[in-house]
A and B are shown apart, each in its own frame.
Chain A
Amino acid sequence: MANVFAFVETRGSEVRKVGLEAVTAARMLADKTGGGEVHALLLGPPGISAKAQQLGQHGADVVIVVENPALANYNPEAATATAAERIKSGGYRAAVFSTSAQGRDLAPRVAARLGVSVVTDVLSFDIQGQNIVVRHPMNIGKVIATISMSGTPAIIAMRPNVIAPAQNPKAGRIENAQPAADPASTRVKVLETKQGSRDKLDLAEAPVVVAGGRGLKAAENFKLVEDLASAFGNAAVGATRAVTDDGWRPHADQIGQTGRLVSPELYVAVGISGAVQHLAGMRTSKTIVAINKDKDAPIFKVADYGIVGDVFEVVPALTDAVREAKKHH
């Protein structure tokens, strides 16, 4: 029996979906080791403690709440120091993070402070003897590695969307704590934050991703992709490397080998030919739809459903049909 730590990502005063996934994963690990406790660390602005109950619902026995106005946005130095100190003093068997932009930054920093290794982008985990064993994609997802972790604590960062947040009510007892480093006096200082809209879904977390490629012909035609995404209501917009290289969309929107990795329930590829570099970022999507005028485009080899046709004709029709279908739900 061993306790497991979970780092809960927040955004403003909200808990992100990956935060609930981390708690769910930590609960699964604790149960696999014979029913230890899950201790979730929740950093955020004053008032974030209101979210502790939600974490209890997902399996946290204890919620360590650290409130500070300077924690409204991700604060790498304060988060690293606070997580490392709690993990060290808590004597955990494992600590679960998320492979989001924050988590990619944070998990290795915390691990290094603790003198242990970390595996990111974890697809699944198990316990074998004394070791935690994880599966991790290598070579841009073309090879899957099984990795045995002998260090204690084992630090893992889950790939978003591989574990659905599950209800498993525990006490969620609040323990208030202070940040281990002053979040207002960090060495790296944020001069400016260009906030995307708060209600905009993140690519890695969105249940539906609608992505556009060169087939859209011009930056302004991305409106078609945005309209389709808004018809779904739970979709984020992505793009291919060709499109971000041309400046039609920001680099942050790029899905692929050098960009974001996504595994949504539904991926809709609009005017995307399906270059290897792009497929590397989306091939683990559960259902893939492709719309492309070239019937021989490689995207059709990975798509569950394909429509051969002009995106300027098909996409508006699909947008209307999706909007109609959502109405009747």
Chain B
Amino acid sequence: MEISAVKLAVCVKRVPDMDVRFRIGADNVSVDEAGLKFDLNDFDAWAVEAALQLKDKNAGSEVTVISLGPDIVQETIRKGLSMGADRGVHLKADKVPFDGFAVASALAAELKSGGYDLILFGKMSPDSSNGVVGQMVAEMLQLPCVSAISSLEIASGKGTAKRELEGAQEIVEFPLPAVLTVDEGLNTARLPSLKGIMAAKKKPLESKPAQLPQPQLTVTRLELPPERQAGRIIGEGAAAVPELVKLLQTEAKVL
């Protein structure tokens, strides 16, 4: 395989751990962050891993980790650096807007002149659950885009990737530069080593204001969904099957 250095960017987000019961803040438009644990979004960690694997295979490659948000997101960028990325860019903003178009605009402004061969995103973040930023950046930069990939190879200035569509799996080929969004199954993200954590402290991390446009989306209210009524255990073993079928026919009316 031809070895050639590639310039890679990975856009990442700091997100709360989802395995909790969320509370709505006093303003009714934000989640109460007290007690929440934050980390690098899983999908973004797989995107960082994909970039690092390409760097490992292609000597001289460089991986830049980019994140938009308040100063605290520098921690998330440092995590990417401790995994092995080379440098970080922090696009400073008071908060991360829900509006994916605004976020994509700020990222595209930063990425535009970076000369990247490949720009990677996680396919979505669980907090906003909107999954639009990567594809939007691709369009803004007029770059080819493959979303939700679950395999990736780069050789001779071209990439191939696998993506899932309803009822089909596609293997696609794309020219570089390109934008990719990463699905689960692409890889398993490495954990930062102690050496990596120490090295990350000395790696360059540039902070500059994010060029966010006026948002077009405003969250006007957050609420917790109604709790699902705990159901009933209708019986044990195969003996309960007739009762279940009857309930599905007469009560749930789904059979």
Contact = CB atoms under 8 A, between A and B. Distances in A.
Interface of A: 11, 16, 73-74, 76, 80, 100-102, 104-105, 107-109, 111-113, 115-121, 133, 136-151, 187-198, 200, 202, 204-205, 207-208, 232, 241, 244, 250-252, 254, 257-259, 265-266, 276-277, 280, 283, 286-289, 295, 300-310, 313-314, 317-318, 321-322, 325-326
B102 to A, nearest CB: 7
A149 B100 CA distance: 12
B202 interface: no
Interface footprint category on B: 35 or more
A295 B221 contact: no
A138 B215 CA distance: 18
A259 B231 contact: no
Contact of B101 (A80, A111, A204): A111
Contacts of B100: 108, 117-118
A295 B237 CA distance: 11
> Considering residues B137, B178, B215, B252, which has the most beta carbons from chain A within 10 angstroms of its beta carbon?
B252
B101 A117 contact: yes
Contact of A303 (B139, B218, B231, B248): B231
B109 to A, nearest CB: 13
A161 to B, nearest CB: 13
B238 A116 contact: no
Contacts of B241: 307, 314, 317-318, 321
Where chain B touches its partner, the secondary structure class is mixed
Contacts, number: 278
Nearest to B230: A301
Given A196-B167, A276-B18, A287-B252, A144 B223 contact: yes
B193 interface: no
A307 B168 contact: no
Contact of A200 (B167, B223, B231): B167
A101 B98 CA distance: 21
A187 B148 CA distance: 17
B216 interface: yes
Nearest to A134: B217
B147 A105 contact: yes
Contact of B148 (A101, A195, A280, A318): A101
Contacts of B170: 73, 190, 192-194
A175 B222 CA distance: 42
B136 A121 contact: no
Given A196-B167, A198-B167, A304-B229, 12 more contacts: A80-B139, A117-B100, A121-B129, A138-B31, A142-B18, A150-B217, A151-B217, A187-B175, A251-B184, A258-B184, A301-B228, A314-B240
B233 interface: yes
